[in-house]
Amino acid sequence: MALPTTMFRKMKNVVGPRIREARRRSGRKVTQQELVARLQTIGLEIDRTAISKIEAGTRPVTDVEIVAICKALGVKVATLFPDDEETRSGLASADP
């Protein structure tokens, strides 16, 4: 049985929306520019445009970037990934 690929043709990452959500929920809302500053202090050079594209799912994100973003936002890496139920739901809704 082939997996539906419609959703994956447009999205370049699955963590972007959860990064946005974590950024907005972390204590007080953290702006994209504040996140960039936090990332720079831990050694990751990335700009606000890249954060915006990651959050929109239009830019791939590396594992190193995911770990750094989680550290900067104070969240666990696992919180950025959909659980099995969400994955199944997302795949079902992407099926043409």
pLDDT tens-digit readout, 1-40: 344 455 556 789 999 999 999 999 967 899 999 999 999 9
pLDDT at 93: 44
Condensed to tens digits (0 to 9), the pLDDT of residues 48-80 reads: 999 999 999 999 999 999 999 999 999 999 999
Model pTM score: 0.78
Superfamily of segment(s) 11-80: lambda repressor-like DNA-binding domains (1.10.260.40)
Q: How far apart are CA 51 and CA 87, in angstroms?
A: 23
pLDDT at 36: 98
Q: Is 69 exposed, middle or buried (0-12, 13-18, 19+ CB in 10 A)?
A: buried
Q: How many CB atoms lie within 10 A of CB 48?
A: 14
The tokens of 74 are what?
A: 């104070």
Q: Which residue has the higher pLDDT, 92 or 19?
A: 19
Q: How far apart are CA 33 and CA 47, in angstroms?
A: 8
pLDDT at 9: 66
* Structure-derived torsion over alpha carbons of residues 55, 58, 59, 61, reported in degrees to the nearest 10: 50
- Provide the residue ranges of all domains of the chain, joining segments of one domain with +: 11-80
